[in-house]
Structure 1
Amino acid sequence: MSVRVRRVYEPPESADGVRVLVDRLWPRGVSKAEAHIDEWPKALTPSTELRHWYHSGAGSYDEFARRYEAELAAPEAAELLEHVRELARSGAVTLVTAVKDPDESHASVLARLLSP
């Protein structure tokens, strides 16, 4: 099982495997052809309210991760999380995001939850 996180602005690599966009909005300045996205499960992304709360600076990354994990327990998100986990069991999966700091973002929370 291989799950990694990459920014959408980095050129795709053959080692990426299935590329899953984990942002709710399409990244600016990147065409669909350039991004090489295989799946875009929008319901797997943080809610608009949680994104706004976190980006306002009101809370810590740890609190954001806790709240996001709670959102991922909802049935639709849990089903999509399991789908991506199945993809990772079959081969490499790259979680693609436009965030500037992937290490302190929802993408790193997803990668942690998807890793064995």
Structure 2
Amino acid sequence: MDMYQAAWTSNRAEDIRALFTEDALYETRPNDPHPWKGQDGIVDGWLAARDEPGDWMFTWELVGTDAETAFVQGVTTYSGDRRTYDNLWVIRLDPSGRASAFTEWFMERG
């Protein structure tokens, strides 16, 4: 999670790429019809939707693991308009700790 937050802060392609396997799949919602595929696709998608450094705060907790899968619950709060989102991430990890599949759910608090 430290590496993910560092990549989220830096928006550097090499930091993002280091989080994922070469053939990883990143879904911005469950059953995403247009997932980001592979490291380059993930970098492109991430940077197209990037958050700027200092524009957000993220808190999280690991709610469970199952073999190679981690389940993370988080809260993202953005500065300025103060939008807050509840997050759930399901992350499948390879033996090196890089994500081979990443699915996120996010819902704005009302």
Q: Larger helix proportion, structure 1 or 2?
A: 1
Tell me, yes or no, whether TM beats 0.5: no
TM-score by length of 1: 0.25
Q: Higher relative CO (CA 8 A, sep ≥ 6), structure 1 or 2?
A: 1
TM-score by length of 2: 0.25
